[in-house]
Amino acid sequence: MGQAQFALDRPAEAIESLSKYLRDGQEQVPPARRQDVQAQIALLESLFAELTIATDQSGALITVDGREVGRTPLYQSIRLAAGTHKVSAVMEGMTAMNRTVTLAPGDRQVLNLELLRHLGTRFGEGKMALETTTCRFAGGRFYLT
């Protein structure tokens, strides 16, 4: 099964199947075969990168490539295929943060997201309607309110 997933370019599923094969087979897997499978798992794992995501606010919902991965603080890194990924952090009352990260095989990157408070956006609640936009440029930040 793991070999088929490898051939279909599904490395995460291949790692899972090959690892299960070794766990379930235990002593029944000949030592030479066990070494081959472990080497294949190591090769497949080297195709991935690790991304650690942190925010300055607890409870932000984190999505990677449109898939929910949890709420901050995340207690472990996320294993991703090498390539470009869209990371989003959303929290009620805060402006959503979206970032694009590019990971190379074997990378271990940390992405720190600063969530900005979104000030009163509804009319009729006695609040002034304000929109906050954050732009980043070399040397600092520019806030337009």
pTM: 0.65
What domains are there in the chain, each with its CATH number?
A: 2-45 (no CATH), 48-144 (2.60.40.1120)
25-37 residue pLDDT tens:
988 999 999 999 9
Contact 107, 80 (CB under 8 A): no
pLDDT in tens, 3-59: 777 666 778 888 889 999 999 998 899 999 999 999 998 988 888 999 999 999 999
List b or e across 72-95, with b for residues whose CB sees 16 or more CB atoms inside 10 angstroms. Answer: bebeeebebebeebebbbbbeebb
CA dihedral 35, 39, 41, 46 (to 10 degrees): 160
Note whether 115 and 91 are within 8 A (CB). Answer: yes
Q: Are 85 and 100 in contact (CB under 8 A)?
A: yes
pLDDT in tens, 79-100: 998 999 999 999 998 889 999 9
- What are the tokens at 5? 């997933």
What pLDDT sits at residue 33? 93
100-138: pLDDT as tens digits? 999 999 899 999 999 988 765 454 444 444 455 555 555
